[in-house]
Amino acid sequence: MTRHGRPDPGLRLAVAVCLVLVAIVTWAICGTAEAAPTRATVKVAPASALYRHRVEQAASRAWGVNASSARLAAQLHQESAFRADARSPVGAQGIAQFMPSTARWIATIYPTDLAGFDPWNPQQAILAAALYDRWLFDRVAEYSQGRMSSCSRWAFTFRAYNGGEKALNRERALAYTSGADANDWRAVEPYRARAEWAHRENTGYPKRILLTLEPAYLAAGWTGVATCP
């Protein structure tokens, strides 16, 4: 209401308070969203589109009906951001970052699929990564007696891919002798049998793939189902 054509002072105060409250609520909502980006804000590697068909083929070859192109793509993203010419400071090569000795060895495990395997060849390296994942996946649960979740199994698979089976097995053994669950990736994480920097990198590797990158590739339409909640 107005008096003599001029706004009521009480009404002006009420409107001003409302506008301040709206501004505060808007800042809180938008500011929080900007400060803490969700998984959906992570972008897939632009180069992934060039290799999508090959990733799908390789995942299917290794896993059949249970294939997840999103998970394999997430791993390749973490390894090289889909750069076929990537080289690490320690000598890992190509899109899947195989060490030369590992490349030679995996070719003997899958002589038909990986005959003449060259880690610099992205088509071959994508298949090699999928097959190596499958080989490790079968091994990490060998003595679990069915007590290992799919999330832990994949986390251990990726840790073995990144830092080797032997170090991972030593750390799982340390967890076991300390009374922790050696079949749970979170329970094993605090136990270290390698340099601190290497352990930090190795435990972060599956988290980045399974909790951040895989959901991003699934959101982008790549096939599969999220491994970890």
Q: What is the tens place of the pLDDT at every residue in 121-142?
A: 999 999 999 999 999 999 999 8
Kindly indicate the confidence band of residue 229, based on its pLDDT and cuts at 50, 70 and 90.
confident
Model-level pTM? 0.81
Residue 87 per-residue DSSP state: B
Determine contact, residues 106/114, Cβ cutoff 8 Å: yes
Kindly provide the residue ranges of all beta strands, DSSP E only, lying in 20-80, ordered along the sequence: none
**pLDDT tens for residues 130-188?**
999 999 999 999 878 788 999 999 999 999 999 999 999 999 999 999 999 999 999 99
**Res 20: pLDDT:** 38
- Which has more pLDDT, 212 or 34? 212
End-to-end CA distance of the chain: 55
> Residue 190 contacts by C-beta under 8 Å, 6 or more apart in sequence?
175, 180
Instruction: Compute the average pLDDT of residues 59-80.
Output: 97
